Structure 1
Amino acid sequence: MAASAINVSGGSVNLLEAFNSSAINLSSGSVLRIDSYNNSTINISGGILSSGLYGYNDTTVSVSGGIIGSLTLTDNGVLNFFGTGFSSSYQGDHSGQFVYDVTGTLASGDKLNTVIFLDDTSQARFTFNAPAVVPESSISRDAEYVSRDKSDLFHRAKYVAFRAGDEFHQEKYVACNRSDVFPEARDEDGGAGDEDLPGIFQEMRPMPDDYLPKGKTQLQAWLTNFGTVAGAQAVPLGLLPADLSALGAAQGTFNGSVAGVKTAKAALKSATQTELTATKTVNTTVRGIVRRIQANPAVTPTQKASLGINPRSAAKNHAPPVTPTGLTAEGFSTGVNALKWDRAGNKSNTIFVIQAQIGASLDWVEVGSKNATKFDHVGQTPGVKVAYRVLATRAGMASVPSPSVTLYGASTGVVLTLAKAA
């Protein structure tokens, strides 16, 4: 069976889901949330994904445009960004996932400013589709090396590219200019870099005149030491009490702002995880109920519309379900009436609805529904007449009922098989 695809090029929708190697392509319009499972592919080249995306089990996501909320990938997910000027900063771990703030300009020209959540089996890749310009404000984590001609610090950044098409993983060296080669960084091909480019990177230390650390944690430690030494040696350094007071006030404001940002980000991540869990629970609950409603041939399109369910119709080129054949019934003294039938070529997602006339009643009532072709009607009284028939339902459509069979009475249609349990 060919994998299905959903193409969104306008309008708005609350939820899209991709299962089992399916694809979702968002180029325009507005989507609140996308869920993806089992080798599915999500391509985002435009539009708005306001709440976010959640990908499970080998999901591949490619982002080249659009306005993106948070992105979460688990279980061997791959996240591809295409554009220029990417920068990512590690924000810590949350519920077993690594959290990054990511900024840049996507290939479409849209600005990227989002949070990504990756477990230890998933990865993010950044591919430049134009010559990369390293922004002077770029900061990563645990500074060890600095470029020779810029003040940028890069701290063991996990995914950084400095030339169009290059992708380096866990590099230890930072480009000083676009003609340099990374001797130990690995690109997508697994090599050390382009061998035809001149220059070899050497281990680099921060420039002597770049005394202020760029990392917030490092700057806090530097300020603490600076304030302690300046206070102890104010006179020989020519510092006035007003200087020390201004330094203390500025340092206090800075430390408070850093703590406030950390608290706000921790609250956001916790709320995001809570929302993810709650959304999965409510989706599973509601979809189970809706499937039963959609499979019930007695529910009208008007009733479905009043519930906010899109009534399914044959206008979407769904093949109608086929009447089941070969229905048999076998009664046991334990009070179980065992039914069997043939699915008659109906698709695997067909739901079979079992109806019965019990005793002298002429009304057909639903006594169960199954995806399989067997059903045990329990709690029956041996010897009491029961007639059965089966309907096939799928995509809001129902087949003509099968010929009925009767236990403990005259049979119409299919031949009855009746036996007593030993």
Structure 2
Amino acid sequence: MEVGMSPVVVIGAGPQGLAAAAHLLERGLEPLVLESGENAASAVAEWGHVRLFSPWPELTDAAARRLLEPTGWTAPATGFPTGAQWIDGYLAPLAEQLGSRVRYGNRVIGVGRTGRDLSVDEGRAEQSFTVHVQNAHGEERIEASAVIDASGTWRNPSPAGADGLPALGEREAQDADVVQYRIPNGDDTAALAGKHVVVVGSGHSAATAVNTLAGIVEREPSTRVSWVLRRDAVGNTFGGGAADELPERGLLGQRAKQAVQRGHVQLVTGFRTERVSVDGMTAVLTAEDGRMLTPADRVFVLTGFRPDPSFLSEVRLDLDVRLQAPARIAAEVDPNLHSCGSVRATGAADLAHPEPGFYIVGAKSYGRAPTFLALTGFEQVRSVVAELAGDREAAERVDLVLPDTGVCGGSGVFDAPEGNGNAGSCCAPSPQLIQLGTAPTSR
């Protein structure tokens, strides 16, 4: 499809949103990027202390590079930047080059079609989009020829509760600042030394937190770290190791494994949090089976993120019922089914919805799946913008091969016995599971 005279609204000035704007400009289309924060990549800034496991060449988009290079900017060629370095070395200069096409402090609160609510069919596709935003001046309505939602998932973390809802008392513990949904940083060293710290979660964020906390244990051995997994078996928590085509991603899991083996971190498996009880400045986690952890001075809940579809209630979406990802890509990214190396690259055809001209890209396009890479998003926006510009051939072309994770096998049966944690996987053979020591669970 070819868009009309109104701008293409891009929701979010993060890595994929800014890349989408660069591609739109290169195609002769006018972007308008709406960012709720006060600066570009404001979500990335919140984890600016974390080092990415993707190298610099995989963290910049081709169209963005072509937009920046005439200014004298040079693409970083080597190394693994932190989030803050990613902003300083690439994202902030890109946003600056886009200038007034990026509006900050504009939170999108709704997207619809001019004169048509969700139920109306007649003439729907011919109408422009309406994008409602909240900013310092109040509420504003913007017309758009197309909408690319690159708002991400960062500000919608999943809770500790094993049923997908906040555990009983979790909100109170959050208000008391005992429960936090972030990765600890160097500033936490003094505050956490000698304390009992709990990490809930099994993904890359949890492994990063565990590695940071293990460093505190090395400096102050009286510090205790408990790593809480919902599953009964460790499975592929430690990743693909040397088989991972992103070496830093492989090392991340292996470092966490070493921290457990050295006794710096105690692993607690099969613990599905039901309650978080606040007692002064500590919290006690209770599992659905009645087990209780010893009181924790700090709980870092790193159980993943989920998309926010609330402002899209008037857009016709085709989302998978489990992952809340576009239905056409859900099977590719669903951790219930497999994690056999990488997933294939996704483009406009995969990301299309029943609402013509509307696309979800970036981390939000993977819904609740945790395997998104920046490279994936750059390929997504390249294809989507080509489709919006009417270049079907470019939209259908695949310009990307994703790196293998080195992990073969799905998450398997939730309560799988040891040795059968990947039953029903799409891959064979299944890796052998590793059972490690568990932390004390009585008060």
TM-score normalised by L of structure 1? 0.17
Q: Which is helix-richer, 1 or 2? A: 2
What's the TM-score once normalised by structure 2's chain length?
0.17
Higher share of residues assigned strand: 1
Which of these two proteins has the greater Rg computed from alpha carbons?
Answer: 1
